[in-house]
Structure formats: structure tokens, C-alpha cells
Structure 1
């Protein structure tokens, strides 16, 4: 069901490396390449918007204009050394922009949006993955130690149903920085896509087939990084800010 929904979401006109080379050229001011990207990836923008809004989005819809603006912004802000995949980065940015638009419209019309992502999930920065919203500078050394122990215990309880532990997380972290960034982006995509997160929670496994189509990562890579992706997804969904800070330092 999910696979049928997202198939065709990402055009395969260029390989990942070729596409990102074009993105860099557009970012550096090549207007011809920029216009070609915006034209060639119109189906991607419409299908991404339709997937997020759960209805057909055409070029006449405001949501399409927002998706195109977000795609253009993704080109402007894309950094190859920080964003492992341009299409995944663009998908996440389009999603955030559309959700923000839908929420503003809902507040204006005073409509309930019970099915949308909570404010705490969409108000995070568009360009960071593991970030902390709490400062622990005010804690004493003892308080920090107590808080760390408490959050590790909570995290352990969240990981246990998946057969994982906190101690395993750093061990299973991909050794190469690009691979680690890609895995974290995949975890973020799972957290931000209700269908994917539901599969993770109910079946206690990754939606491998769907992710393979969406993020252009091989099945072998997804299976090899399975534990790490699951652990990061669970962490991103939590409010364990101390652990997020700790792991951000250990895995940078």
C-alpha cells in the first residue's frame, strides 16, 4: 500500500551524483541549469506534495507553488558534505513547508488538524537532524549525571521492544561520515512520515521496500544499517535532549 503510493515519487533521469552536480551548478548561479531542474522535477514536486497532503496536487494549487519554492530553497541550501542526498533533503524541506502552510491555514479557518504532525515536531530547524532544544549549562555535575542516567534508562526502555540497547547504538553507528548522515536522514524521514513510523512501531522493523524506492539506498545498505536507523528514529521521536546532545558529539 505504501509502496504503491510513493512509487514514481523520485524521477530517475539522473544518477545521484549527476543530479547533485547539477544542483551545485544551479546553486552557483547557472540559471539555465536551475530552470531545467525546476522543469524536469515538476512531477517530483507535484507527487511529493500529493503524498504529503494525501490528495492530488496540480500546478494550479497553492501547495504546488509552496513545493516548488521549497525545492528551489533546497537547491540554494544544499551542501554535499552535510546533506547526504539532495532528493531526501528536498523531500523533507517540502514536507516542512507544506505542513507549516496547512497549519497556518487551519488556524486561520479554525479547523482541527488532528492527523497532522505536532508543533513540536515541525518547528525544528530545516537544516539539522540531531539537535538539542535544551541547554544543560545550568545543571551541576551531579544533576547532569542523574539526568543522564535517567534518560539512558528511558531510552533503554524505548529500545527494548526492538531488541536494541543504548550500548549498541554507538557500536552500530556507520564508520563513514557520509553513510552516517544518510542513515540519520533516513531515520528522520521515517519519523516525519506517519505511514513509515507506524510500520516501525507496529511491526518493529523498517519498511525496507518503501525506503529503498524513496531514498535511493540499496536494500543491502538499509539492512546493514537497520539497527542504527531504528535507534535514531526512536531517539528523534523522543524528548531525550541530553542523549541527543551526547550522541551528536560522539557521532559527528
Structure 2
């Protein structure tokens, strides 16, 4: 991964390029549209994104996935500190009051937020898969059972996602340029053909910045190490 954004002189441009991402994460956490003029939450999110740039390294996996976590945690911490009254519920069965601290509330909020983001990513990913005449059912049936096979296909897909020529052919023709992939990765043609649907799905995930949560299920650290 190109880490030039870690340098201070490139930071402003990098933040500008990712401002839509920062807005998107902030809007989802706040459950509303925010603006830089009226909402402190967006300022907190931008500071958190900058901190993510300062603290990021390749061992932390995909940068946008990492940044989304830093932004989310910063906003949740802000909500926690600004809350003034603990939540209270009354249990008739036990005839007493149960005081629920903010940590429990924020944990529930955190889980709900992650589920909503994940659901949105799946919806978007499903729509993109349909352009290739694929669906999640296809992927379930096309997914390898053995870890070695999954790792091998993941490395192949990452190499394709990093190759502009192959990626352009996949995006425009909506199919795999098998000959090019075999030459690039030194893979067996039959392997690529047998796992065509699975490889296409991985290339879509790896080449896009729209799926940080879905990417978190992939062993990206190992793949990166194998391709350096």
C-alpha cells in the first residue's frame, strides 16, 4: 500500500480525497446528515481520521477499515462524555432498580451501528455482483472449503486488483481475463476457471473502498505479506 499519506505534507490532499468517506461514517454514527458548519461531530471525525493517519501501519490491515474504527470510537467517546444522566430501568420481577451505565448503552449502540453498516455494505455488494450476473447464493456454492485454497485464491485476487490492465478488463467486460491472470500469477488455467465466481467477488471487494467491514473477514495481512 502507498503510505505517502502518512507524510504531513501530503495529509491535506489525502483528507480532501476521503472527505466523502468521513462524512459517510459520521452520518451513520449520528443517524443524520452532518455539516462542518453546524456539527461538532464532523470536526471530531476529521480529527480522528487525521489521528488514524498518524497511527496507521500495514499491520493494521486495510486503512479505511482502520480509520472507520478510529472515527467511530472517537464519536462514541464524545457521546459518552457529553451524556449527563444514567439510563434507568425498573424490574418488576426483582422489585428493584437497575442502573445501566453508559458503557452498556454505548456497547449496544456500537453493535447496532456495525450491523447497520454491514447490512448496507451487503446490499451494495449484492447490487454490484448482479452486474456480473452473480449473487450471494452463487458465492456460497462457489466458496472453497480448504484454507490453503482460500489463501491461494485471495492472493490471486489481490494481484489482479493491483494490476490496472486486468482490473480494467474485469470492470469493463464483467468477466475474468483468464489468460492474463495465469501469466500474472503463474496459476493453472483450470484453477482460475473452476473458481471464477469466487475470484470475481474477491476482486470486487479488494479493488473498492466501499466495503471495509466485508474486507475485515478476509486475511488481508497474510495476503499483503505474500505479495510484497
| TM-score (normalised: structure 2) | 0.49
State the structure with bigger RCO (CA 8 A, min sep 6), 1 or 2.
1
Which structure: larger Rg? 2
